[in-house]
């Protein structure tokens, strides 16, 4: 849900439409995200002359997401729909749980899961306060990595990139 909510608005891009315009105009339509078991990845491509604007926009999604209550219900429904696409019905959920319990039964469930999506019954219990709490707890500078590819000299070289990143990373919680 946090991954979905960062696309709904930030301090720089107030609305989902503003973020969509950023996606189209700055990131060449490539701005996207996915959540794995141990990570949330936000990625985009841009032309060299838009590098700072691209990084600024992506950092605003990480540093200042709105996480508004009015956006939460919509995104929760989307995530629930994703879960029900994976688990077609209650019978399949019961089978999947039984199978997971049989495999590597000495490990906690979280280590046997292959998806970060979760079960429909657990998703239904999540509230926007849970998303906000997860944001505060896990969106900290110790949990962030950057991967930048391309001709770095075109965008001022590695030292320039480090300065831009460090300025933004300092804004994250400890």
Highest mean pLDDT among 38-42, 74-78, 107-111, 115-119: 74-78
Q: Regarding predicted confidence, which is higher, 98 or 131?
A: 131
Q: What angle do CA 99, 105, 110 make, to 5 degrees?
A: 85
On the question of pLDDT at 168 being above 80, the answer is no
Per the DSSP assignment, residues forming a β-bridge with 42 are 33
Task: Please tell me the predicted confidence (pLDDT) of residue 68.
Answer: 97
Ordered DSSP codes for 66-124: ---HHHHHHHHHHHHHHHHHHS-SHHHHHHHHHHHHHTTTTS-HHHH-S-SS--HHHHT
pLDDT value, residue 111: 62
Question: What integer best gives the mean pLDDT of the chain?
Answer: 87
Pick the most confident of 15-24, 109-118, 158-167: 15-24
Q: Return the structure tokens found at 54.
A: 């691209």
Q: What is the pLDDT of residues 9-40, one digit of tens each?
A: 999 999 999 999 999 999 999 999 998 877 88
Q: State the pLDDT at residue 89.
A: 87
Q: What would the mean pLDDT of 84-98 be, rounded to a whole number?
A: 85
């Amino acid at each position: 849900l946090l991954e979905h909510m960062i696309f709904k608005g930030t301090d720089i891009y107030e609305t989902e439409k503003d973020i969509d315009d950023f996606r189209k105009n700055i990131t060449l339509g490539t701005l996207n995200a996915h959540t794995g078991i141990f990570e949330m990845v936000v990625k985009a491509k841009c032309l060299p002359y838009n590098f700072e604007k691209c990084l600024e926009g992506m950092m605003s999604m990480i540093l200042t997401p709105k996480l508004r209550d009015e956006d939460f219900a919509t995104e929760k429904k989307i995530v629930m729909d994703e879960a029900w696409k994976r688990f077609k019905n209650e019978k399949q959920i019961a089978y999947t749980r039984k199978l997971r319990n049989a495999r590597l039964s000495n490990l906690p469930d979280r280590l046997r899961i292959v998806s970060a999506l979760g079960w429909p019954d657990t998703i239904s219990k999540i509230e926007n306060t849970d998303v906000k709490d997860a944001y505060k707890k896990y969106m900290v500078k110790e949990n962030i990595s950057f991967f930048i590819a391309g001709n770095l000299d075109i965008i001022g070289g590695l030292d320039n990139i480090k300065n831009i990143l460090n300025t933004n990373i300092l804004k994250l919680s400890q």
